[in-house]
Amino acid sequence: MELRLYDTLSREKRTFVPLDPKNVRMYVCGPTVYDFAHIGNARPVIVFDVLFRLLRHLYGEAHVKYVRNITDVDDKINDRAARDFPGLPLNEAIRKVTEQTGEQFHADVDALGCLRPSVEPRATEHIGEMRVIIERLVKGGFAYVAEDHVLFSPQAMNAANSTLPRYGALSKRSLDEMIAGARVDVAPYKRDATDFVLWKPSKPGEPSWPSPAGIKAEGRPGWHVECSAMAWKHLGEHFDIHGGGIDLVFPHHENEVAQTCCAFHRERMANYWMHNGFLQVESEKMSKSLGNFITIHELLADWPGEVLRLNMLKTHYRSPIDWTMKSLEESAKTLDDWYRVAADVAPGEPAASVVEPLIDDLNTPLAIAAMHGLRGGDVGALAGSLRLLGFLSESAAQWEGRKQQASGVDPKEVEGLIAERTAARSRKDFKESDRIRDLLAAMGVAIKDSKDGTTWEFSR
Ligand code: AMP
Ligand code: ZN
């Protein structure tokens, strides 16, 4: 069985051949930690968790290294810190914001059933590597210093007579068109409109570090160089897979490739570039002004994390996803059923009918359809398949118990009402038995009568 992945650079599905099968290496751009993550941010986290699990299944747990960074230096973090902790020195306030937000992020993605990556580097702990990359770029003639900034020149990159990739290759944009379409109000220190920042001066009070390239004033890195530095430190100059949301292809990933390839004279940074599609809510773009902006944290108050996870994986990762209440309700029903039939059985090997679509560019909707097919047959294989995809972290009793807790209904009270209803039915008082059934329904309890008596469950 061979794994095939869609590569954004070559625009095709290709057989995955790792550089070293004993050390399969993947980098995914992580969160900027300034606020609760929204459900769109959960998409790359879940999608690449599935890929991480699949790679571990195929190559062995000890042979896969997954790096997802934490961006802890950013204007949005500074603004938030100044707003929330006006009494504190800015650097201390920033530490509070990044620590709190980082913890919230971990709690959220743990609840979504995502494994922690092998390494979660923080940008502020890799300033040294950033400086090295920037120095190399300046020495190589790909970057220059102007007014205490260091700027990368895509035009210098494309003028170089070498095996470097062309700037624009990943996002399929032509540099000439970018130049022609450039805005007029370009920062005065830039030689060309397409140049981007590698390093910039810090404002007074802002986090700052000694600058590279002979700049006297202290400064801070640009966003793109952070990922080049962290990927280099933890995965090397050239590695297997680089991922993130589709919005990151340009400029972020285009710039990462430019920095890494020019600094290390490489033809490639990653062999496979993978991007998830965007998430929208009830057919609308998610935004604060539309009032449909939902955090993972808020959703977790109403739904178990695995329901959110299943709901995400019902759509192929490259397609846009429409996040709806209706679909969430269906996902919850499906998981209730799977927990009942598969959570307490000994898991077997994941079924071939599930693994085959997964290795075909992570076709999770087909894998889920195959699991529905296993439900009435090989439940051991269903259990193994569900676990491979990061489900069934609880026993059936825990799952049911959590639902009861969430509903706030006392099972003893339910049993009592059912006994009253049975008594009413046996004296043919159907008005009373219907009243009790409606009452139970209003409590979120569904009942089922059979010749062996009445059973019940929470219907949510
Ligand atoms: P950000 O915090 O905006 O840098 O985003 C962190 C990650 O979430 C990136 O990989 C983004 O591409 C991804 N992302 C942000 N918004 C969405 C969305 N609505 N749907 C899918 N992915 C998203
Ligand atoms: Zn990145």
DSSP secondary structure letters along 11-42 = TEEEE---S-TTSEEEEE---BSSSPPBHHHH
CA contacts within 13 A on the Cβ side of 63: 14
- Establish if 73 belongs to a structural domain: yes
Kindly state the percentage of the chain with pLDDT values over 90: 86
Residue 459 pLDDT class (50, 70, 90 cuts): confident
Which atom of ligand 1 lies closest to the CA of 246? Answer: 12
Distance CA 328, CA 337 (A): 14
**Mean pLDDT (whole number) for 267-271:** 97
Q: How many CB atoms lie within 10 A of CB 359?
A: 18
Residues 6+ apart with CB under 8 A from 183: 193
Distance CA 211, CA 220 (A): 8
Residue nearest to atom 19 of ligand 1 (CA): 40
Question: Which pLDDT value is given to residue 412?
Answer: 87
Instruction: Tell whether 247 and 310 lie within a shared domain.
Output: no
- Establish if 290 belongs to a structural domain: no
Instruction: Tell whether 258 and 311 lie within a shared domain.
Output: no
Question: Which pLDDT value is given to residue 39?
Answer: 96
Name the amino acid, one letter, at 455. T
Q: Which H or E run contains 188?
A: none
Instruction: Tell whether 214 and 353 lie within a shared domain.
Output: no
Instruction: Tell whether 321 and 256 lie within a shared domain.
Output: no
Question: Which pLDDT value is given to residue 290?
Answer: 81
Question: Dihedral angle at the C-alpha atoms of 274, 279, 283, 285, nearest 10 degrees?
Answer: -110
Instruction: Tell whether 112 and 147 lie within a shared domain.
Output: yes
**Domain coverage including residue 248:** 4-279
Question: Which pLDDT value is given to residue 113?
Answer: 98
Residue 137 DSSP code? H
The verdict on the CB of residue 8 being under 6 Å from ligand 1 is no
pLDDT tops 70 at residue 370: yes
- Establish if 192 belongs to a structural domain: yes
Instruction: Tell whether 429 and 393 lie within a shared domain.
Output: no
Identify the bridge partners of residue 66 per DSSP, sorted by sequence position. Answer: 26
Residue nearest to atom 14 of ligand 1 (CA): 41
Report how far ligand 2's centroid is from the alpha carbon of 99 (Å): 20
Check if the beta carbon of residue 140 is closer than 8 Å to that of residue 263: yes
Which atom of ligand 1 lies closest to the CA of 321? Answer: 20
Report how far ligand 1's centroid is from the alpha carbon of 94 (Å): 22
Q: Render pLDDT for 301-351 as a digit per residue (tens, 0 to 9).
A: 999 999 999 999 999 999 999 999 999 999 999 999 999 999 999 999 999
Distances from the Cα of 82 to the Cα of 13, 210, 439, angstroms: 46, 23, 51
Residue nearest to atom 8 of ligand 1 (CA): 41
Helix, strand or coil for residue 274? strand
Of the residues 264, 279, 294, the one at which a domain ends: 279
Distance CA 415, CA 418 (A): 5
Check if the beta carbon of residue 76 is closer than 8 Å to that of residue 206: no
Q: Which of 123, 124, 114, 195 is nearest to 154 (CA)?
A: 195
State which of 247, 274, 275, 312 you would mutate to test the pocket of ligand 1, scoring each by most atoms of that ligand within 8 A of its C-beta.
Answer: 247
Distance CA 161, CA 120 (A): 36
Instruction: Tell whether 271 and 366 lie within a shared domain.
Output: no
- Establish if 85 belongs to a structural domain: yes
The verdict on the CB of residue 32 being under 6 Å from ligand 1 is yes
pLDDT tops 70 at residue 434: yes
- Establish if 376 belongs to a structural domain: yes
Residue nearest to atom 18 of ligand 1 (CA): 40
Residue 288 pLDDT class (50, 70, 90 cuts): confident
The verdict on the CB of residue 25 being under 6 Å from ligand 1 is no
Q: Which of 140, 161, 144 is nearest to 152 (CA)?
A: 144
Domain count, the chain: 3
pLDDT tops 70 at residue 460: no
Of the residues 399, 430, 447, the one at which a domain ends: 399
Helix 90-111 vs helix 39-59: angle between axes, to the nearest 10 degrees? 60
Which atom of ligand 1 lies closest to the CA of 28? Answer: 10
Phi, psi of 279 (to 5 degrees): -110, 135
Question: Which pLDDT value is given to residue 77?
Answer: 95
Helix 379-388 vs helix 352-359: angle between axes, to the nearest 10 degrees? 30
Distance CA 420, CA 440 (A): 12
Q: Render pLDDT for 385-422 as a digit per residue (tens, 0 to 9).
A: 999 999 999 999 999 888 777 777 888 899 999 999 99
Which atom of ligand 1 lies closest to the CA of 286? Answer: 19
Which atom of ligand 1 lies closest to the CA of 277? Answer: 21
The verdict on the CB of residue 293 being under 6 Å from ligand 1 is no
The verdict on the CB of residue 58 being under 6 Å from ligand 1 is no
Phi, psi of 81 (to 5 degrees): -65, -45
Instruction: Tell whether 419 and 373 lie within a shared domain.
Output: no
Q: Which H or E run contains 459?
A: none
Instruction: Tell whether 118 and 255 lie within a shared domain.
Output: yes
Instruction: Tell whether 145 and 43 lie within a shared domain.
Output: yes
Instruction: Tell whether 238 and 317 lie within a shared domain.
Output: no
Q: Residue 137: which CATH number?
A: 3.40.50.620
- Establish if 309 belongs to a structural domain: yes
The verdict on the CB of residue 31 being under 6 Å from ligand 1 is yes
Q: Residue 367: which CATH number?
A: 1.20.120
Q: Render pLDDT for 52-95 as a digit per residue (tens, 0 to 9).
A: 999 999 999 999 999 999 999 999 999 999 999 999 999 999 99
Q: Render pLDDT for 9-37 as a digit per residue (tens, 0 to 9).
A: 999 999 999 999 999 999 999 999 999 99
- Establish if 286 belongs to a structural domain: no
Check if the beta carbon of residue 30 is closer than 8 Å to that of residue 92: no
Sign, CA dihedral 339-341-344-346, equals: negative
Q: Render pLDDT for 129-177 as a digit per residue (tens, 0 to 9).
A: 999 999 999 999 999 999 999 999 999 999 997 899 999 999 999 999 9
pTM: 0.91
pLDDT tops 90 at residue 5: yes
Instruction: Tell whether 198 and 244 lie within a shared domain.
Output: yes
Question: Which pLDDT value is given to residue 30?
Answer: 96
- Establish if 210 belongs to a structural domain: yes
